[in-house]
Amino acid sequence: MAEVVSPVPGAGRREPGEVGRARGPPAADCGAALCPQGEIIEGCRLPVLRRNQDNEDEWPLAEILSVKDISGRKLFYVHYIDFNKRLDEWVTHERLDLKKIQFPKKEAKTPTKNGLPGSRPGSPEREVKRKVEVVSPATPVPSETAPASVFPQNGSARRAVAAQPGRKRKSNCLGTDEDSQDSSDGIPSAPRMTGSLVSDRSHDDIVTRMKNIECIELGRHRLKPWYFSPYPQELTTLPVLYLCEFCLKYGRSLKCLQRHLTKCDLRHPPGNEIYRKGTISFFEIDGRKNKSYSQNLCLLAKCFLDHKTLYYDTDPFLFYVMTEYDCKGFHIVGYFSKEKESTEDYNVACILTLPPYQRRGYGKLLIEFSYELSKVEGKTGTPEKPLSDLGLLSYRSYWSQTILEILMGLKSESGERPQITINEISEITSIKKEDVISTLQYLNLINYYKGQYILTLSEDIVDGHERAMLKRLLRIDSKCLHFTPKDWSKRGKW
- ∠ Cα 400 403 409 (to 5°): 130
- CB-CB contact of 65 with 130 (8 Å): no
Decide: helix, strand or coil at residue 429: helix
> Which of 63, 384, 416, 434 is labelled catalytic?
384
How far apart, in whole angstroms, are the C-alpha atoms of residue 400 and residue 313?
35
**Residues with Cβ within 8 Å of residue 441, at least 6 apart in sequence:** 133, 135, 167
- ∠ Cα 396 401 406 (to 5°): 130
Helix, strand, coil content of the chain in percent (nearest 5): 25, 25, 55
List the one residue out of 138, 132, 235 whose CA is nearest residue 182: 132
DSSP annotation of 99:
G
**Residues with Cβ within 8 Å of residue 437, at least 6 apart in sequence:** 141, 142, 144, 422
Extended strands (E) in 340-405: 346-348, 350-353, 382-383
How far apart, in whole angstroms, are the C-alpha atoms of residue 352 and residue 363?
7
How far apart, in whole angstroms, are the C-alpha atoms of residue 482 and residue 276?
9
- CB-CB contact of 465 with 170 (8 Å): no
How far apart, in whole angstroms, are the C-alpha atoms of residue 13 and residue 10?
9
Quick check: is 384 catalytic? Answer: yes
Amino acid identity of residue 205, one-letter, is D
The CB density around residue 426, as the number of other CB atoms within 10 Å, is: 19
List the one residue out of 125, 123, 121, 103 whose CA is nearest residue 111: 121
- CB-CB contact of 167 with 447 (8 Å): no
Helix H or strand E segment including 90: strand 89-92
How far apart, in whole angstroms, are the C-alpha atoms of residue 84 and residue 392?
14
- CB-CB contact of 350 with 308 (8 Å): yes
Q: Kindly tell me the burial class for residue 327, based on how many C-beta atoms sit within 10 Å of its own C-beta (0-12, 13-18, 19 or more).
A: exposed
Active site residues: 384
